[in-house]
């Protein structure tokens, strides 16, 4: 396709989506499904107007997916409701750690014993497919900073954390394939890739988020009373935190999410304490949106970037698929991930937490796979994954992501309307 034809196609798609926004909200179809259908029709599966080769363009795709995930993680972080409490965060933490490890193990076992992949490739495939996606799962995520829906909070918080908690398993898979140094008996992997990288990521993110929140708060008030560019500050925080964290050999995704959470929570505390100090009584019913903050000011811009990025990457995804990409083993892997690995890992991870049954069942189903999985795949390819193995993992991953967009996308609205929030039994 020529540049003019690309402009025409994307421009037409944007106009259609903009004009039919209200109609689409009433149907069980997400925006990602529309983009994917257009990609499939125009790509090699249909009219063959364009073809995108993930192996050839892995460096470009790695950068694009990296940027998109970072923007999405920041948006998710600044929407986290406050105040922060370990009791409220317990469920998503368990999902991002215990359930994550179980999912990786189940997928690795299937890949090794059924698909015939090497153990390292199986672990790597598990790490690629285990994280839930903060980009394509917007319909089941927190809608705004004041949204206190427990299911949406859990899924959003889990997606924010497990894009970082998957990285140690990616490195473990690469190490088992001889592409990363694990140390004797995996000691170096555990100390550096698990303990150091995770702890440093959270610490860097929290410190940076708190620092920017306090600096912005101080500059906006007397005697300075500066006007601030919240969009630039939000993007700057993402860039600085990610750069520092990667240079420190830690996980940048995790750091950016916690930087956004710390930014939002600190600004919230400053807002509430300011009202309390002014009124000399505990604040009630305060509209935090009336107080200028970096998190609120940058959120709308980030969400617009997220939508445009989703359109671009899903169109590219549709342009990678041929008819013969749909092998039985790829479809079977996808069904295993959706119907076995995800539900089992959620049930085991939340065992004994007292989580309500509808919450566990819906959480077990809504494990959307998407842009994060594509990033980890491109990351592995760029770190020396053999070509034959790369092609195999590309096929498997793209089919899983494609089916996730269709199955989860068409079921989210009907299931939430029918089963969430749970209806209380009628009083006798």
What digits encode the pLDDT tens for the residues 80-135? 887 888 888 999 999 999 999 999 999 999 999 999 999 999 999 999 999 998 77
Query: Does residue 283 have a pLDDT over 70?
Result: no
Average confidence score pLDDT of the chain: 89
State if pTM tops 0.75. yes
Residue 208's pLDDT band (boundaries 50, 70, 90)? very high
**Band (233; pLDDT cuts 50, 70, 90):** very high
Distance CA 413, CA 418 (A): 8
**pLDDT in the model for residue 282:** 45
Q: What is the pLDDT of residue 413?
A: 84
Q: Give the number of other CB atoms < 10 A from CB of residue 114.
A: 13
Highest-scoring range by mean pLDDT, 11-20, 100-109, 286-295, 317-326 = 100-109
Per-residue pLDDT, averaged over 200-221, amounts to 95
**Which of 336, 316, 284 has its CA nearest to residue 394?**
316
pLDDT value of residue 186: 95
The CA-atom distances, in angstroms, between 340 and each of 94, 344, 358 are: 18, 6, 17
What SS3 state is found at 104? Answer: helix
pLDDT per position as a tens digit, 161-189: 998 899 999 999 999 999 999 999 999 99
- Do 377 and 393 form a contact (C-beta atoms < 8 A)? yes
Q: What is the DSSP letter of 26?
A: T
What's the average model confidence in pLDDT over 136-164? 81
Lowest pLDDT segment from 54-58, 143-147, 187-191: 143-147
Q: What is the pLDDT of residue 82?
A: 75
Least confident stretch, 60-74, 136-150, 354-368: 136-150
Please say if the pLDDT value at position 140 is more than 80: no
- pLDDT of res. 423: 61
Instruction: Please state which of the ranges 29-33, 62-66, 375-379, 398-402 shows the lowest mean pLDDT.
Output: 29-33
Q: Please, are residues 234 and 294 in contact by the beta-carbon 8 Å criterion?
A: yes
pLDDT exceeds 80 at position 426 = no
| Residue 77 near residue 259, CB atoms below 8 Å | yes
Question: Which helix (H) or strand (E) segment is 413 a member of?
Answer: helix 387-419
Encode pLDDT of 325-379 as tens digits: 999 999 999 999 999 999 999 999 999 888 888 889 999 998 888 899 999 999 9
Higher pLDDT among residues 177 and 300, named by residue: 177
> Among the listed ranges 48-57, 84-93, 201-210, which one has the minimum average pLDDT value?
84-93
**How would DSSP label each residue in 291-330?**
S--HHHHHHHHHHHHHHHHHHHHHHHHHTT--GGG--HHH
Top pLDDT among 301 and 33 is at 33
Average confidence (pLDDT) over 261-290 = 69
**Per-residue confidence at 424, pLDDT binned at 50, 70, 90?**
low
pLDDT above 60 (res 279): no
Phi/psi zone of residue 132: left (φ > 0), alpha (ψ -120 to 50 degrees), beta? beta
pLDDT at 321 over 60: yes
19, pLDDT greater than 50 = yes
């Amino acid at each position: 396709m020529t540049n003019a034809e690309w402009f025409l196609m994307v421009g037409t798609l944007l106009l259609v989506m903009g004009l039919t926004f209200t109609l689409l909200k009433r149907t069980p179809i997400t925006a990602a499904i529309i983009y994917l259908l257009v990609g499939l029709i125009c790509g090699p599966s249909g009219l063959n107007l364009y073809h995108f080769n993930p192996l050839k363009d892995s460096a470009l795709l790695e950068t694009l997916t990296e940027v998109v995930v970072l923007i999405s993680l920041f948006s998710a972080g600044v929407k986290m409701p406050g105040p922060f409490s370990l009791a409220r965060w317990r469920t998503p933490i368990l999902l991002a750690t215990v359930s994550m490890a179980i999912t990786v193990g189940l997928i690795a076992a299937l890949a090794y014993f059924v698909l015939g992949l090497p153990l390292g490739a199986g672990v790597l495939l598990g790490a690629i497919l285990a994280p839930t996606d903060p980009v394509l799962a917007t319909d089941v995520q927190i809608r705004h900073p004041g949204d206190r829906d427990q299911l949406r909070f859990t899924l959003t918080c889990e997606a924010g954390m497990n894009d970082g908690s998957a990285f140690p398993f990616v490195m473990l898979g690469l190490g088992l394939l001889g592409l990363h140094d694990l140390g004797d008996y995996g000691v170096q992997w555990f100390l550096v890739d698990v303990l150091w990288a995770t702890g440093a990521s959270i610490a860097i993110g929290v410190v940076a988020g708190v620092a920017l929140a306090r600096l912005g708060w101080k500059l906006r008030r007397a005697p300075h009373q500066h006007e601030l560019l919240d969009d630039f500050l939000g993007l700057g925080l993402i860039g600085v935190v990610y750069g520092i964290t990667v240079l420190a050999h830690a996980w940048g995704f995790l750091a950016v999410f916690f930087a956004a959470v710390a930014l939002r929570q600190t600004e919230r505390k400053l807002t509430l304490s300011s009202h309390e100090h002014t009124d000399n009584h505990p604040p009630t019913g305060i509209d935090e949106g009336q107080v200028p903050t970096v998190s609120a000011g940058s959120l709308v811009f980030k969400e617009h970037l997220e939508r445009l990025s989703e359109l671009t990457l899903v169109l590219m995804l549709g342009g990678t698929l041929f008819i013969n990409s749909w092998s039985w083993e790829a479809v079977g892997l996808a069904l295993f991930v959706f119907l076995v690995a995800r539900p089992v890992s959620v049930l085991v991870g939340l065992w004994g937490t007292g989580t309500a049954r509808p919450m566990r069942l819906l959480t077990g189903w809504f494990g959307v796979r998407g842009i994060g999985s594509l990033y980890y795949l491109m990351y592995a390819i760029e770190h020396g994954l053999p070509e034959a193995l790369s092609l195999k993992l590309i096929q498997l991953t793209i089919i899983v992501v494609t089916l996730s967009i269709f199955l989860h996308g068409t079921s989210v609205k009907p299931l939430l309307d029918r089963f969430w929030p749970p209806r209380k039994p009628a009083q006798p």
